[in-house]
Amino acid sequence: MSQILVRLHIFFGKQLYNTLKVPIGLVNSSWGGTNITCWMSSDALKKFPDISQGYLATDEISQKPQPVTLFNGMVNPIKDFNFKGVIWYQGEANRANPEEYKLLFQSFVKDWRRLFCNDTMPFYYVQIAPYMYFKNKSNIQAALLREVQMECESIINNVGMAVLMDSGDSSTIHPSKKDIVGKRLAYKALSHTYGISSILSDSPRYALKRREGNKLVLSFDRIPLGITSFGNVLRNFEVAGSDGVFLPAEAKIVDREKVVLWNDDVKEPVHARYAFRDFVIGDLFGGNGMPVSSFRTDR
């Protein structure tokens, strides 16, 4: 995992250098397969007594990193560096508790900003990629984690999320094309931190819905170049009536800004879902090439 992140941040740094034409310094602090609590201080975890009481109650030595340990051993020692910002790729180990992760991630960002004495330090993070965690193709555990990661982008100031819905692999938890991940993080930094307005780094985001007869119309924001499927049929939408039973939906893009959904067996559609599975290859994009995150309207 650490080697994976090394390759990722090399692509990140290379893209920054190619655009900014100045030397780029990067510090890699990573450990694969870890829970976010490993990267948080004991003070931050005091807000989560169920977690903090558990790790404080034992003196056992474990080969697997425990809460606070990586913060103490791999983050605190570099606190005197003057960092421009942070890129973050983690979340798979927390997918069983998405609502908890939503709170932990907010506390984590605040914790690191406190450590580095920068209340507005930019954080650019990667939404977990599609992956077949279980043989059951209908499992949505990872989709729920992606959902809260998306929500955190709206809750926390000065953060940005790179979406990988088009880059997953059913048999590999991390995408093989690390250049895509690194470049998307770099585009976030270049557009939002370095202020290069010509770089459109944001993925479109579901905004609202309305019903027109037996169809649902979905609208999106952050679409300066509209939305597109690049000529492919949209196959990842579902609709449900008031019974909450989701069925595959026909879908078409209208005016490059809306998606119209329907299923002839759902006479009065109420809710929609897009790519809301652990593993699915996304097929909806912004005109800037950035994929749309999985989402649901029945949140």
Q: How many domains does the chain have?
A: 2
Does 216 lie in the same domain as 183? no
Could you give the CA distance from residue 152 to residue 105 in angstroms, rounded to a whole number? 8
* Whole-structure pTM value: 0.94
Q: Which helix (H) or strand (E) holds 16?
A: helix 2-20
Predicted local distance difference test score (pLDDT) of residue 52: 65
- Secondary structure class of 25 (helix, strand, coil): coil
The CATH number assigned to the domain holding 136 equals 3.40.50.1110
Alpha helices in 57-193 (DSSP H): 69-70, 98-115, 141-155, 178-188
Domain contains 278: yes
Last residue of a domain, one of 135, 165, 193: 193
Range of 233's domain? 205-296
Last residue of a domain, one of 144, 167, 193: 193
Does 209 lie in the same domain as 189? no
Does 77 lie in the same domain as 28? yes
Domain contains 199: no
Domain contains 70: yes
Compute the C-alpha angle 129/225/289, nearest 5°. Answer: 30
Does 266 lie in the same domain as 141? no
Last residue of a domain, one of 169, 193, 217: 193
Predicted local distance difference test score (pLDDT) of residue 63: 66
pLDDT tens series, the chain, 299 aa: 455 566 888 999 999 999 999 999 999 999 989 999 999 999 999 999 887 666 555 556 566 788 999 999 999 999 999 999 999 999 999 999 999 999 999 999 999 999 999 999 999 999 999 999 987 777 899 999 999 999 999 999 999 999 999 998 888 887 778 899 999 999 999 999 999 999 999 999 999 999 999 999 999 999 999 999 999 999 999 999 999 999 999 999 999 999 999 999 999 999 999 999 999 999 999 999 999 999 999 98
Domain contains 200: no
Does 102 lie in the same domain as 14? yes
Q: Is the Cβ–Cβ distance between 289 and 145 less than 8 Å?
A: no
Compute the C-alpha angle 95/99/101, nearest 5°. Answer: 55
Domain contains 20: yes
Q: Which helix (H) or strand (E) holds 88?
A: strand 86-88
Could you give the CA distance from residue 244 to residue 118 in angstroms, rounded to a whole number? 45
Q: Is the Cβ–Cβ distance between 70 and 34 less than 8 Å?
A: yes
Does 188 lie in the same domain as 45? yes
Does 68 lie in the same domain as 18? yes
Does 216 lie in the same domain as 94? no
Does 220 lie in the same domain as 101? no
Domain contains 198: no
Radius of gyration for the alpha carbons in the chain, expressed in angstroms and rounded: 20
Domain contains 92: yes
Does 235 lie in the same domain as 181? no
For CA atoms 10, 105, 206, 92, the dihedral sign is: positive
Predicted local distance difference test score (pLDDT) of residue 60: 60
Predicted local distance difference test score (pLDDT) of residue 138: 76
Q: Is the Cβ–Cβ distance between 291 and 203 less than 8 Å?
A: yes
Does 127 lie in the same domain as 27? yes
Does 214 lie in the same domain as 80? no
